[in-house]
Chain A
């Protein structure tokens, strides 16, 4: 049973436009959410996170929105750049002393010049 779902395997956008990556979760115990970016043959790189007490967190071109009632979060990248092309993973933690991360399957973002 997948607790974190990324329903779009891939997304293609034009350089300069907004990229929106979506993530849904089923476990109501999740308390902390993270986005990671991964290039081929490399490990995931932390991008941005959000605690369940917030509904938005912004860092430069990256903004994460959390809708707890819908169990949905999204990552907005604006403006998108060709170097943003990578696989993006949504991850969640139950928080407290439980540091285990549960990952979605990822979305391949391609930003076209």
Chain B
């Protein structure tokens, strides 16, 4: 039973380029969450998605960031025109539909470095 998968594990982008981070949730999970961790900080919520729907994007920066979870395929977090401050670890988590508890299961993360 595969866990949450994220790719790439490491991504290097120059300032101004686009970064695309992918997340495949655990089998049977239909809720996907993205979090960002800056150095020496805890994880910060960015966005919560279900298939084809953004449920809560209150943690997403207003510009340059977008997320989707299409009917088929992985969830994508897209960062346009990256800046040095976007360098961080980005974690995806998933949980099952109708979860009565609030446990989320995390992937290994994508470490984005902007040069």
Contacts and interface: CB of A to CB of B under 8 A. Distances in A.
Nearest to B59: A100
Contacts of A43: 4, 6, 91, 93, 106-109
Contacts of A41: 108-109, 111
Contacts of B43: 44, 89, 91, 101, 103
B101 interface: yes
Nearest to B104: A101
Given A43-B4, A44-B43, A89-B43, A95 B102 contact: yes
Interface in B43-92: 43-45, 48, 56, 58-59, 91
A100 B103 contact: no
Contacts, number: 67
A49 B44 contact: no
Contacts of A72: none
Interface residues of B, number: 29
A89 B102 CA distance: 15
B70 to A, nearest CB: 20
Nearest to B43: A103
A45 B91 CA distance: 12
Interface string B1-23: 00010100000000000000000
Contact of A99 (B40, B91, B102, B107): B102
Interface of A: 4, 6, 32, 34, 36, 41-46, 49, 89, 91, 93, 95, 98-106
Given A49-B102, A99-B48, A101-B45, 5 more contacts: A34-B102, A44-B91, A49-B103, A99-B31, A101-B35
Closest 7 CB pairs of A and B: A43-B106, A103-B42, A93-B102, A105-B42, A103-B43, A32-B102, A100-B45
23 contacts: A6-B42, A34-B102, A34-B103, A36-B106, A42-B108, A43-B6, A43-B91, A43-B106, A43-B107, A43-B108, A43-B109, A44-B91, A46-B106, A49-B101, A91-B43, A93-B102, A95-B102, A98-B56, A99-B99, A99-B104, A100-B58, A101-B43, A103-B35
